């Protein structure tokens, strides 16, 4: 089959690889009909994630048709149309019982490696380095899905791929980010980052009862999408001082909750930005927390900071004194996608959410390298790339 494989920094190639096979009784093989490139794939593309090996198949947002089933999968049939969640969860461990699917205790065969890095191992993830198990990903024609009796969700007729594909990752991610804010009536929410996750976070915040949502970015097309499609008020941080503006807009309180939909490759301005870049190049700092620093200071006293952006290692100079002394709550995590797929599918069916509106580019799987390039460089006003094998 054809699959998009990682070969190094700024180097992904679509090549001929062996078809996947059933390896365990609870596996399924999915023939992929649609897949996408995620913002976090760019961290792999930019060489920021360790333990990648040449030839690793990328991709963790995918859906398709069941073509083969392991003998222990009883809830699915050949031919079922499913969306596959990006964290791989067994459904049996303590974490899964608590619905903390992204920290499943059993699905990472490289748990020891992850334990060294992070203290305990989270769940395995499709196509996201050997630290999370080295599972072959879904930017391909077929994929092997472990624990198929737990993860994949069946899609009813009447919805096309583009409407439901993002149940695999970015829609639940935006939703969980908003849910983690603990939104109550009258709350003002600020969202840093107007990529697809940011857009869904804004939309979810309104659905969950926010009175006002303020979105922050620097790319005009993303700010425009936030205004026109997601109904946010926008701030361009290259044109205004965001901290000041937020103070003005909230009567000096600051937003009740803040969402970080930016992550470890934040664009840094000024001296602090230069500091982060230098330290990152010298491998003294692994992540650039520019947005996070601003977020932690801007949040209202006693408010919540909800971190959806991906971080990998260590960050420098976090204003933790501000966090502690002002009683902030921090909620974060890789999305527990399995928890949200069914409720969000229902919202899509009811028309509360229209996830396909974030798609700006559609291409064939074979064009994946070009897709990565324009997505990384934000060329052609690229916001989301969907690939069809």
The residues, ordered by sequence, that sit 6+ positions from 338 with a Cβ below 8 Å of its Cβ are: 85, 87, 89, 99, 101, 150, 151
**47 lies in the binding site for another protein (CB under 8 A):** no
Taking the least distance from each CB to another protein, the nearer of 148 and 383 is 148
DSSP secondary-structure letter at 329?
A: E
Q: Which of 74, 112, 283, 377 touches another protein (CB under 8 A)? A: 112
**What are the φ and ψ backbone dihedral angles of 64, each rounded to 5 degrees?**
170, -150
**387 lies in the binding site for another protein (CB under 8 A):** no
Give the binding range for another protein (CB under 8 A) out of 102-110, 198-206, 216-224, 302-310.
102-110
**186 lies in the binding site for another protein (CB under 8 A):** no
Name residues contacting another protein, limited to 145-164 (CB under 8 A). Answer: 146-147
Give the binding range for another protein (CB under 8 A) out of 15-23, 177-185, 302-310, 370-378.
15-23
- Shortest Cβ distance from residue 44 to another protein (Å)? 14
- Shortest Cβ distance from residue 95 to another protein (Å)? 9
Q: Which of 39, 59, 87, 133 touches another protein (CB under 8 A)? A: 133
Name residues contacting another protein, limited to 58-77 (CB under 8 A). Answer: 72
Q: Which of 111, 213, 216, 386 touches another protein (CB under 8 A)? A: 111
Contact 95, 165 (CB under 8 A): no
- Nearest CA among 287, 258, 249 for reference residue 43: 287
**330 lies in the binding site for another protein (CB under 8 A):** no
Q: How far is CA 29 from CA 32, 343, 387, in A?
A: 9, 25, 19
Instruction: Classify strands 153-154 and 81-84 as parallel, antiparallel or unpaired.
Output: antiparallel
Whole-angstrom Cα Rg for the chain:
20
Q: Hey, how many other C-beta atoms are within 10 angstroms of the C-beta on 42?
A: 17
Count the helices and strands in the chain (H runs, E runs). Answer: 13, 17
- Shortest Cβ distance from residue 212 to another protein (Å)? 42
Q: Which of 90, 223, 246, 385 touches another protein (CB under 8 A)? A: 90
The residues, ordered by sequence, that sit 6+ positions from 238 with a Cβ below 8 Å of its Cβ are: 218, 269
Count the site residues for another protein by CB under 8 A. Answer: 45
Q: Which of 31, 33, 42, 93 touches another protein (CB under 8 A)? A: 93
Q: Please report, in angstroms and rounded to a whole number, the separation of the first and last CA atoms in the chain.
A: 10
Give the binding range for another protein (CB under 8 A) out of 105-113, 159-167, 233-241, 291-299.
105-113
**244 lies in the binding site for another protein (CB under 8 A):** no
Q: What angle do CA 201, 205, 208 make, to 5 degrees?
A: 135
**225 lies in the binding site for another protein (CB under 8 A):** no
Q: Which of 83, 100, 131, 136 touches another protein (CB under 8 A)? A: 136
Give the binding range for another protein (CB under 8 A) out of 101-109, 187-195, 246-254, 327-335.
101-109
Instruction: Classify strands 142-145 and 28-37 as parallel, antiparallel or unpaired.
Output: antiparallel
**228 lies in the binding site for another protein (CB under 8 A):** no
The full DSSP string for 197-235 is: HHHHHHHHHHHTT-SEEEEEES-HHHHHHHHHTT--EEE
- Shortest Cβ distance from residue 55 to another protein (Å)? 4
- Nearest CA among 100, 86, 1 for reference residue 41: 86
**17 lies in the binding site for another protein (CB under 8 A):** yes
**What does the binding site for another protein look like in residue numbers (CB under 8 A)?**
1, 3, 5-7, 13, 15, 17-21, 23-26, 53-57, 72, 90-94, 97, 105-109, 111-112, 124, 133-136, 140, 142, 144, 146-147
């Amino acid at each position: 089959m054809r699959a998009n494989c990682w070969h190094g920094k700024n180097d992904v190639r679509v090549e001929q690889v062996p078809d996947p096979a059933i390896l365990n009784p609870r596996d399924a093989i999915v023939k992929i009909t649609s897949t996408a490139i995620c913002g976090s794939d760019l961290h792999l593309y930019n060489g920021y994630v360790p333990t990648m090996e040449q030839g690793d198949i990328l991709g963790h947002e995918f859906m398709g048709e069941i073509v083969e089933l392991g003998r222990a999968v009883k809830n699915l049939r050949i031919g079922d149309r499913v969306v596959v969640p990006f964290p791989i969860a067994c459904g049996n461990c303590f974490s899964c019982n608590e619905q903390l699917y992204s920290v499943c205790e059993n699905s990472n065969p490289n748990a020891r490696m992850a334990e060294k890095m992070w203290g305990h191992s989270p769940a395995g993830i499709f196509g996201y380095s050997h630290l999370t198990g080295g599972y072959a990903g879904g930017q391909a024609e077929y994929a092997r899905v472990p624990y198929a009796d737990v993860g994949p969700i069946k899609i009813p007729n009447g919805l096309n791929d583009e409407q439901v594909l993002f149940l695999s990752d970015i829609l639940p991610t935006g939703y969980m980010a908003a849910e983690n804010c603990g939104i109550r009536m009258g709350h003002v929410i600020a969202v840093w980052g107007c990529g697809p996750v940011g857009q869904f976070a804004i939309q979810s915040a309104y659905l969950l009862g926010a009175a006002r949502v303020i979105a922050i970015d620097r790319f005009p097309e993303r700010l425009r999408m936030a205004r026109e499609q997601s109904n946010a008020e926008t701030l361009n941080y290259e044109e205004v001082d965001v901290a000041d503006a937020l103070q003005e807009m909230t009567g000096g309180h600051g937003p009740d909750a803040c969402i970080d939909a930016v992550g470890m490759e934040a664009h840094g301005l000024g001296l602090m930005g230069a500091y982060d870049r230098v330290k990152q190049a010298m491998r003294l700092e692994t992540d650039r927390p520019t947005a996070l620093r601003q977020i932690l200071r801007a949040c209202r006293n006693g408010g919540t900071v909800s971190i959806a952006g991906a971080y990998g290692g260590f960050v420098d100079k976090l204003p933790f004194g501000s966090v502690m002394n002002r009683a902030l709550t921090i909620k974060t995590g890789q999305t527990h996608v399995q928890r949200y797929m069914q409720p969000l599918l229902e919202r899509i069916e009811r028309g509360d959410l229209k996830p396909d509106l974030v798609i700006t580019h559609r291409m064939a799987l074979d064009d994946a390298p070009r897709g990565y390039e324009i997505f990384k460089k934000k060329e052609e006003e690229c916001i989301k790339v969907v690939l069809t094998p």
